[in-house]
Amino acid sequence: MTDSQSPKGRRKSYHHGNLRAALIEAALGLIEAKGPLGFTLAEAARQAGVSAAAPYRHFRGRDELIEAIALQGFGMFADRLEASFNDGRPSLLSAFGTMGQSYLDFARENPGYYMAMFESGVSIAGNPDLARECDRALGILRDAAARLSEHLPPEKRPPAGMIANHIWAMSHGVVELFTRGAPGARAPYSADEMLESGTAIYLRGLGLIP
């Protein structure tokens, strides 16, 4: 093991670098391996190659570290939703469907962030920054839903907020059903197929698509 790889070497580099980012990176690995409640702040410090006291320069405890990870995650998630809706899709409907797919992709590609956001018990309502980023993500879905129903007479348009929450809940349910060895892994169809068909059935039921 080289000095740069050893705890001593990492401690030196992080002392002069971004300790906060190093702790977040270490905690992400621990969350993926042990779950959001399966590690201590001291373990995150050890994984980052710093002393057990070092994290307290930035975080009062593990929960605050997880909140910081969830905040980053919601920001990344909102950016992804926005990009998926504005990437030149041939139709509004396909763009809307791509947003649901982006939820699945985010959970697959960023399990540590996803668990911090949705499985750690972090209080979104109790953290203004978290609430803001979560609302930004939901707002993108809500705006897309409003545009998708513009062709209907005003009195027949379902509430855009309801549609956004339903699509979010459906996407979240599919993720929970199919990821990390969950029962859906034995189904004869994929998570992507289930979400696509469920979204189509839902939107048809609302009269938003033929």
Would you state the pLDDT for residue 84? 85
Would you state the pLDDT for residue 17? 63
Q: Which of 17, 105, 32, 112 is nearest to 69 (CA)?
A: 112
Which residues 6+ apart lie within 8 Å of 7 measured at CB?
46, 49
Would you state the pLDDT for residue 142? 93
Would you state the pLDDT for residue 181? 65
HEC per residue, the chain: CCCCCCHHHHHHHHHCCCHHHHHHHHHHHHHHHHCCCCCCHHHHHHHHCCCCCHHHHCCCCHHHHHHHHHHHHHHHHHHHHHHHHCCCCCCHHHHHHHHHHHHHHHHHHCHHHHHHHHCCCCCCCCCHHHHHHHHHHHHHHHHHHHHHCCCCCHHHCCCHHHHHHHHHHHHHHHHHHHCCCCHHHHCCCCHHHHHHHHHHHHHHHCCCCC
- Per run of 10 residues, the mean pLDDT along the chain (length 210 residues) is 39 60 95 93 92 88 93 94 79 81 92 94 89 92 90 92 93 86 76 91 88
Q: Which CATH superfamily is domain 63-205 in?
A: Tetracycline Repressor, domain 2 (1.10.357.10)
CB atoms within 10 A of CB 19: 18
Would you state the pLDDT for residue 71? 95
Would you state the pLDDT for residue 9? 39
Q: Which of 119, 122, 97, 95 is nearest to 107 (CA)?
A: 119
Cα separation of 1 and 16, whole Å?
Answer: 21
Would you state the pLDDT for residue 47? 92
Would you state the pLDDT for residue 88? 64
In angstroms, how far is the first alpha carbon of the chain from the final one? 62
